[in-house]
């Protein structure tokens, strides 16, 4: 059996984690069940992290709304919190419950409740069983590229790479790619994203480029939907995926990125530069002084529409190569691991963008159109 090794690795690495997760759970509740006084609680369970942000979103207020409790008298805040809850009292949510480092249960995530939900939202073992069963008879030969488990989020990330098949996007035997599948899931969501791995330099470095995937909430789809996604992705070769990749790469080759697209990726690092750790990276790879010089005006003052029609002078495939180089060379360019992973995904958004800003637009030319007398 050609996938025997990867099946063994999936089973052996998941087994001890699944055993520890036995006590974790998902439960549904209504907004009216919450205690919004000192922090947010559901009974004895404290609400933490992104769960707070999602509850505040359900209440249609800012994520830091509960900070006002420190500025008001307890009696006044009690009135405010009760009125706030009453507006969405019957809204149902799922709560993801895990244990902290000291073994105390807490709510770390929530998801909107839908009446279609008819089964236990958490069944990690079943997902691994479906993966292994599909790999036993798969047409593809996989290797386990990465197996990660985030205990703070109760989230798995599994990356499987087709080790045999190659995609020659330009038919030059130079730009060769492999395909694979990334699965990430916690007790509330299941995400699948096929990806492509290509050589990004002569020393053998590679970068993942994510393609079209499926993001499945347990509250929307049955387990059969998730099983179908696993079986279709791991079981069969898809010529369509190869064709989509070749078309996407050629599209980048044929176009430049706009100044707006350039700034979108510069902003990625600016938003994460709170400690100024990306100052040097931004200056080296996202230096916009060339635009100010070429256009002879203050680019920063121009509208989003103007920027989306302004040519950066950078070929889109070259720009894409630069992004994946940054994301895949941690020894040379220091970028946080989570930021590198997200940059890989964002670079793939450029690769598979339905239409680049400067794609299929008229070239700037002078038209000698004759004036009619009535135009005077």
118 part of a folded domain: no
Query: What whole-number distance in Å separates Cα of residue 290 and Cα of residue 207?
Result: 28
Task: Answer yes or no: do 140 and 248 share one domain.
Answer: yes
Final residue of a domain: which of 112, 147, 179? 112
**Contacts for 180-183 with beta carbons within 8 Å, 24 or more apart?**
180/142, 180/145, 180/208, 181/233, 181/234, 182/157, 182/158, 182/208, 182/210, 182/213, 183/127, 183/131, 183/156, 183/157, 183/158, 183/159, 183/230
Question: Are 99 and 25 in contact, with CB atoms under 8 Å apart?
Answer: no
What is the H or E stretch that residue 314 is in? strand 311-315
- State the total domains in the chain: 3
What is the per-residue pLDDT for 306?
A: 94
357 part of a folded domain: no
Task: Answer yes or no: do 190 and 295 share one domain.
Answer: no
What is the per-residue pLDDT for 220?
A: 54
Task: Answer yes or no: do 144 and 247 share one domain.
Answer: yes
What is the per-residue pLDDT for 257?
A: 95
What is the H or E stretch that residue 27 is in? strand 25-30
Task: Answer yes or no: do 38 and 105 share one domain.
Answer: yes
E strand segments, 104-188: 105-112, 142-150, 155-162, 167-168, 176-185
Query: What whole-number distance in Å separates Cα of residue 313 and Cα of residue 287?
Result: 13
17 part of a folded domain: no
Task: Answer yes or no: do 220 and 278 share one domain.
Answer: no
Antiparallel, parallel or unpaired: β 256-258 and 311-315: antiparallel
Task: Answer yes or no: do 30 and 143 share one domain.
Answer: no
pLDDT per residue as tens, the chain (376 positions): 789 999 999 999 998 888 877 656 677 788 888 888 778 888 888 988 888 888 888 888 887 888 887 778 888 888 888 888 888 888 888 887 877 777 788 888 887 765 433 344 457 888 999 999 999 998 889 999 889 998 877 789 998 988 887 777 777 776 777 788 889 887 777 888 777 776 544 444 454 555 545 555 544 556 778 888 899 888 876 666 667 778 888 899 999 999 999 999 999 999 999 889 999 999 999 999 999 999 998 998 999 999 999 999 999 999 998 998 898 788 888 898 888 878 887 888 888 888 999 988 887 788 887 877 776 6
| Residue closest to 343 by CA, chosen among 329, 355, 359, 357 | 329
Task: Answer yes or no: do 129 and 246 share one domain.
Answer: yes
Task: Answer yes or no: do 218 and 310 share one domain.
Answer: no
Provide the token pair at 92: 């149902």
Task: Answer yes or no: do 246 and 292 share one domain.
Answer: no
278 part of a folded domain: yes
Query: What whole-number distance in Å separates Cα of residue 122 and Cα of residue 189?
Result: 9
Task: Answer yes or no: do 218 and 274 share one domain.
Answer: no
Q: What does pTM read for this prediction?
A: 0.57
**Phi–psi pair at 187, nearest 5 degrees:** -70, -10
Residue span of the structural domain in which 271 resides? 254-351
What is the per-residue pLDDT for 304?
A: 93
What is the per-residue pLDDT for 202?
A: 40
What is the per-residue pLDDT for 256?
A: 94
**Phi–psi pair at 33, nearest 5 degrees:** -80, -10
Final residue of a domain: which of 50, 82, 112? 112
Task: Answer yes or no: do 199 and 309 share one domain.
Answer: no
324, 330, 336, 338 alpha-carbon torsion, rounded to 10°: 50
42 part of a folded domain: yes
Final residue of a domain: which of 220, 252, 284? 252
364 part of a folded domain: no
172 part of a folded domain: yes
What is the per-residue pLDDT for 310?
A: 93
180 part of a folded domain: yes
Task: Answer yes or no: do 85 and 170 share one domain.
Answer: no
């Amino acid at each position: 059996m050609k996938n025997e090794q990867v099946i063994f690795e999936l089973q052996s690495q998941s087994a001890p984690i699944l055993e520890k997760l036995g006590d974790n759970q998902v439960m549904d509740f209504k907004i009216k069940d919450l205690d919004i006084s000192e922090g947010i609680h559901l009974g004895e369970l404290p609400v933490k992290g992104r769960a707070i942000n999602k509850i505040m979103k359900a209440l249609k207020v800012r994520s830091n709304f509960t900070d006002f409790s420190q500025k008001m008298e307890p009696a006044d805040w009690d009135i405010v919190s009760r009125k706030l809850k009453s507006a969405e009292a019957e809204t149902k949510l799922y709560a993801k419950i895990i244990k902290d480092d000291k073994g105390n249960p807490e709510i770390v995530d929530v998801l909107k409740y839908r009446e279609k939900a008819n089964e236990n939202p958490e069944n990690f073992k079943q997902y691994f069983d479906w993966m292994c069963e599909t790999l036993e008879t798969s047409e593809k030969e996989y290797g386990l590229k990465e197996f990660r488990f985030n205990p703070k989020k109760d989230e798995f990330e599994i990356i499987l790479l087709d080790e045999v098949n190659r995609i020659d996007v330009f038919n030059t035997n130079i730009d060769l790619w492999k395909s694979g599948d990334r699965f990430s899931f916690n007790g509330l969501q299941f995400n699948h994203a096929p990806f492509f791995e290509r050589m990004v330099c002569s020393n053998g470095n590679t970068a993942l480029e994510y393609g079209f995937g499926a993001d499945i909430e347990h509250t929307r789809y049955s387990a059969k939907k998730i099983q179908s996604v696993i079986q279709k992705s791991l079981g069969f070769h898809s010529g369509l995926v190869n064709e989509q990749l070749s078309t996407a790469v050629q599209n980048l080759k044929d176009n430049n990125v706009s100044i707006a697209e350039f700034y979108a990726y510069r902003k990625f690092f600016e938003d994460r530069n709170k400690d100024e750790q990306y100052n040097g990276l931004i200056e080296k790879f996202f230096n916009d002084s060339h635009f100010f010089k070429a256009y002879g005006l203050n680019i920063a003052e121009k509208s989003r529409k103007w920027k989306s029609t302004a040519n950066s002078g950078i070929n889109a495939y070259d720009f894409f190569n630069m992004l994946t180089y940054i994301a895949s060379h941690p020894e040379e360019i220091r970028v946080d691991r989570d930021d590198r992973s997200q940059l890989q995904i964002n670079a793939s958004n450029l690769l598979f963008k339905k239409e680049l800003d400067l794609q299929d637009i008229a070239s700037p030319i002078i038209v000698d159109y004759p004036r009619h007398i009535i135009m005077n």
